[in-house]
Structure 1
Amino acid sequence: MIRSLIFSVALFLSTAAVAQNGMEPVPARQSDEGSGPYSSLVIRGATMIDGTGAPPEGPVDIVVKDSRIAAINRGGSPESVINSADRVVDATGMFIMPGFVDVHGHNGDPGKAPNPDYGYRLWLAHGVTSVRGVSFGFGPDSTDLDHKRRSAANLIVAPRLFAYAVFGDKWPGGPVRTPAKAREWVRWAENAGYDGVKFFNTDASDVLAAALDEAEKHKMGTVAHLGQRGVAQVTARKAVELGMDGVTHFYGHMESLLKDGALVRYPNDYNYLDEQSRFSEVARLATQIVEPGSEEWDDYIDSMVEGGVTLSPTFNIYSASRDVMRARTAEWHQKYTLPSLMNFYEPSLTNHGSYYHDWSTEDEVAWRNFYVPWMKLTNDFKNKGGRVTVGSDPGYIYQTWGFAYIGEFEMLQEAGFAPLEVIQAATMNGADEIYKPKGIPAPFGKIKVGMLADLVIAPENPLANFKTLYGTGHLRLNRDTNVLERVGGVRWTIKDGIVYDAHILLEDVAEMVASQSQ
């Protein structure tokens, strides 16, 4: 049987570029969508988790003037402050954190999620106030820079958007195949308004090195998906040596840790362009690497920490591989996943990531085993001082916007992160990853006086149970009444001092889903 030829980076970019032309315009933010910013906003009585790793403390009042945090009043505010406020949010008994940062975002396409407004509202409804798109869209007609501008001005209902361009994409200058052309492309991208560059590792190392060097000169961030087609030449170790700022997913790590030979030992019938083959064999890498905790293992992690790279593992995006039935039947799909998106997720010969053509128990067990060294590597890197951030890569493999982001919290805890470390990764670390290349301090990511008022307020303690942050909440049995109750969810998300009701955002999404279902 001829295997399905369904994905390569070139095919992905070319088809996505066409798809972007048919995207629906994001509607303008209406006067009743979010309130503020206010001359004076007071959030009263919350327990604060400030994002730095400091322990929770409360009750505190947070005073916001226009779009910035003006004061943190421990124990409460003077009555004069309360009485003079334009709005008071009663967060008594609730928990307040910096707005979450998703460092690995995409928008959909006409075939699965035709309006980015869908994903933007889901992100905000889960407390995500900033997203790095890698890329939001593909091709010269993508709308990522327009959406970035409109979001910065709060003209649309959306998180703060940071736009990275895929290396060689979007511009009119033709293929990028030489170091000189690489530098020219980077200068073009910076002038166009992009914040950084996403690499798919398909170029010669001298071209990559030139692009990285030029990006650093122009204070642009860089992040790599070190795919199999280029990883034989540029592993994660090599990419960091060349100056890469960030590595996302698992690609490049296992290939840096091979115990027997310089190349991955693929089966003779392996076909990268067949998603079933590609993703089933990924998990078999776990049997080809050095022993976790060995001298070679520690040396690799030390080299990554010393190189100053940031890791964004995106554990969630592959989680269906270890239990596809659970991912396919997640309780939020019926109400919050568009039918077109659900159709995209189903096994297919043409959709990227839809590789469950004949997914077996053996495949799932292999993936469960693969997560063990991948998670240990990430946790060891963090414990040695490396920066880890939270990215969700939504819109693929049963991972829906917002819900996928909270799923990453749970998987980081599974990897060994303490709950406070997860929140730090989602807030301060994410902001620092975006702003470090710019050479300026991040203006959000922590609850500190002077920082932007990007905040998330939740009724349940997320440190006790991250499941309470899902938009669908968490089911808990009331032991006094013997009644099953649904608790949690984000209550308010504040971006730039504008207060969004997370419940209303979810209602908006539910209406989109219901409308498409008719």
Structure 2
Amino acid sequence: MFQLLQHLLPNINRKGRVMEVAYRGATLLDGTGAPARAGVTILVTEGRIRRVAADAEFSTAELSGVEVVELGGRHVIPGLIDAHQHIATPPDRPLAEATLRRDFFGGVTATRDMADDLRQVADIARAALVGELVAPDIHYAALMAGPTFFDDPRTWQVSQGATPGQVPWMQAITAGTDLPLAVAMARGTYATAVKIYANLPGELVAAITAEAHRQGIAVWAHAAVFPATPGQVVSAGVDSVSHAHLLVHEAADRPLTTYQDKPPVDYARFAGGDDAQLGALFAEMRRRGTVLDATASLWATISRETEDPEQRARALANDGLSAALTGQALRAGVTVCVGTDRDPDPAEPWPPLFDELAYLVDRCGLAPAEALRCASHGGALSLGAADRLGTLEPGKQADFVVLDEDPAASLTALRSVVHVVKRGRRHDRATFDAERAALTDRTPTENGAEQA
């Protein structure tokens, strides 16, 4: 028990005094949109940033008794946020933990789980929060959709032992649903938000959103809910919408019906990223502060991985659409967060978030620092946590990444992680690299077991 308490209270010394840590000599890109500053000290107390100022502004007396970490000009950025993951479809605890650990040591300090088996996700989130797992903090959603959505096999994977649509984390909603009770059940899972998925009309999307906000919980929705259009979803007041390619259905040439019956898309019409009808939608999103979880690079990945020619052609078409619409949204001033919606083999050394960031630069026209701000400040807005995450300022949670190289010059610098700090607790990338090297060095014995 004593060892566990020591682990959970890392900033308390043996005399009971709160320990402070000063990270000196940082080149700080703070996530506010300001340019990088050299020669900066970040003073961390009890897991929060107490002060950020030039090294010379800290006196010797002020740093007396403070642990000092000399960074020597290394680059510091806010912790990255993956705004779209699924870590339990179906539940696989060892895989989820390995994936989250890989992401964490790549600088991802928070993630948004967009509906899963919350029985498992809630326990993983608790373990990450209190430090039993080295993992990003997890903010998760309870799903709501129309009854006709629940023949989707994924809903069965995350409702094993129960009936899909009839559990608190995955509810079928109709005009007769007691919405105050439904939202209260979702809140009872300790979810951050309700996720509105599919097969609901605009009036029900608006009613769910209003009730969720009344009860103090956020609403995350697919960009098109079918039959609810993107415009109806945004007008309902949801906090974020997911999947840029779904926004195209605002200009559908026939009424939307169901998630399973999407209208055909005139890809050529939107290739220039300047469609007037979508421009009006983006203006409304900017006015309302609706965050776009673009998952823009997802289709490029699918196009590379599929062997089916028809699926590859569709993926390539949607890839071009995602790039065009995400770029148009960014130019219109819409806040974009960085979500991946995929979890590659955890043996991969770096998180898939890096691919989404590169896509925003290479395909959507952002500078590296602008893309990073989408993954920090934009991610914090998507979580409804911008008051404590997303920028490195006094009062914010001490979540940041120390890099050897300059990420404002090139995103390849993200692969030079030295330290990841979450809630003030420092973790060394070298520890993770040593673990990976030890696993790689293992060789099979004759009986199939492994030995170091």
Q: What range is the shorter-chain TM-score in?
A: 0.7 to 0.9
C-alpha distance in structure 2 between counterparts of 1:217 and 1:508, whole Å: 47
- Number of aligned residues: 415
TM-score by length of 1: 0.71
User: 8 Å contact 2:272–2:324 — kept in the other structure?
Assistant: no
What is the match of residue 254 of structure 2? Answer: 262
Q: In the alignment, does 2:348 pair up with 1:419?
A: no
For residues 97-496 of structure 1, the aligned pairs below 5 Å read 97-108=77-88, 114-135=94-115, 137-138=116-117, 142-167=119-144, 168=165, 170-171=167-168, 175-226=172-223, 230-231=225-226, 233-258=227-252, 261-262=253-254, 285-287=266-268, 289=270, 292-324=273-305, 356-359=306-309, 364=312, 367-368=315-316, 370-395=318-343, 402-414=350-362, 415-435=364-384, 442-470=387-415, 488=416, 490-496=417-423
User: 8 Å contact 2:8–2:130 — kept in the other structure?
Assistant: no
Secondary structure of the residue aligned to 2:98 is helix
- Shift of the 400–224 alpha-carbon distance from structure 1 to 2, 3 Å rule, reads farther
Q: In the alignment, does 2:33 pair up with 1:84?
A: no
User: 8 Å contact 2:291–2:334 — kept in the other structure?
Assistant: yes
- Shift of the 263–205 alpha-carbon distance from structure 1 to 2, 3 Å rule, reads closer
CA drift at 1:205: 3.6
Secondary structure of the residue aligned to 1:453 is coil
Secondary structure of the residue aligned to 2:365 is coil
User: 8 Å contact 1:98–1:446 — kept in the other structure?
Assistant: yes
What is the match of residue 70 of structure 1? Answer: 50
- Shift of the 507–272 alpha-carbon distance from structure 1 to 2, 3 Å rule, reads farther
User: 8 Å contact 1:419–1:463 — kept in the other structure?
Assistant: yes
- Shift of the 397–292 alpha-carbon distance from structure 1 to 2, 3 Å rule, reads farther
- Shift of the 401–185 alpha-carbon distance from structure 1 to 2, 3 Å rule, reads farther
What is the match of residue 481 of structure 1? Answer: none
Secondary structure of the residue aligned to 1:166 is strand
1:199-227 Cα offsets, whole Å, 9 max, x none, are: 21123444333211111111211112356
- Shift of the 182–285 alpha-carbon distance from structure 1 to 2, 3 Å rule, reads farther
TM-score by length of 2: 0.80
1:444-466 Cα offsets, whole Å, 9 max, x none, are: 21111121111111111111111
What is the match of residue 153 of structure 2? Answer: none
C-alpha distance in structure 1 between counterparts of 2:410 and 2:169, whole Å: 49
| Amino acid aligned to 1:454 | D
What is the match of residue 429 of structure 2? Answer: 502
CA drift at 1:397: 9.9
| Amino acid aligned to 1:155 | E
| Amino acid aligned to 2:308 | D
Q: Which runs of 5+ in 2 are unaligned?
A: 13-17, 145-164, 445-449
- Shift of the 398–74 alpha-carbon distance from structure 1 to 2, 3 Å rule, reads closer
User: 8 Å contact 2:79–2:109 — kept in the other structure?
Assistant: yes
1:330-363 Cα offsets, whole Å, 9 max, x none, are: xxxxxxxxxxxxxxxxxxxxxxxxxx24237xx6
For residues 2-41 of structure 1, the aligned pairs below 5 Å read 36=11, 39-41=19-21
User: 8 Å contact 2:81–2:379 — kept in the other structure?
Assistant: yes
1:482-506 Cα offsets, whole Å, 9 max, x none, are: xxxxxx2x11110111001123134
Higher relative contact order (CA 8 A, sep 6+): 1
User: 8 Å contact 2:291–2:336 — kept in the other structure?
Assistant: yes
User: 8 Å contact 1:290–1:297 — kept in the other structure?
Assistant: no
Percentage of identical aligned residues: 21
| Amino acid aligned to 1:432 | L
Secondary structure of the residue aligned to 2:25 is strand
Secondary structure of the residue aligned to 2:50 is strand
C-alpha distance in structure 1 between counterparts of 2:43 and 2:230, whole Å: 44
1:125-153 Cα offsets, whole Å, 9 max, x none, are: 11111111112x326xx222223333322
C-alpha distance in structure 1 between counterparts of 2:438 and 2:248, whole Å: 43
What's the C-alpha RMSD, in Å, of the aligned pairs?
3.6
Secondary structure of the residue aligned to 2:342 is coil
C-alpha distance in structure 2 between counterparts of 1:516 and 1:202, whole Å: 51
CA drift at 1:250: 2.6
C-alpha distance in structure 2 between counterparts of 1:469 and 1:96, whole Å: 11
CA drift at 1:81: 4.3
C-alpha distance in structure 1 between counterparts of 2:394 and 2:92, whole Å: 41
C-alpha distance in structure 2 between counterparts of 1:150 and 1:112, whole Å: 15
C-alpha distance in structure 2 between counterparts of 1:428 and 1:434, whole Å: 10
- Shift of the 397–215 alpha-carbon distance from structure 1 to 2, 3 Å rule, reads farther
User: 8 Å contact 1:322–1:367 — kept in the other structure?
Assistant: yes
Q: Which runs of 5+ in 1 are unaligned?
A: 1-27, 265-270, 325-355, 471-487
User: 8 Å contact 2:114–2:140 — kept in the other structure?
Assistant: yes
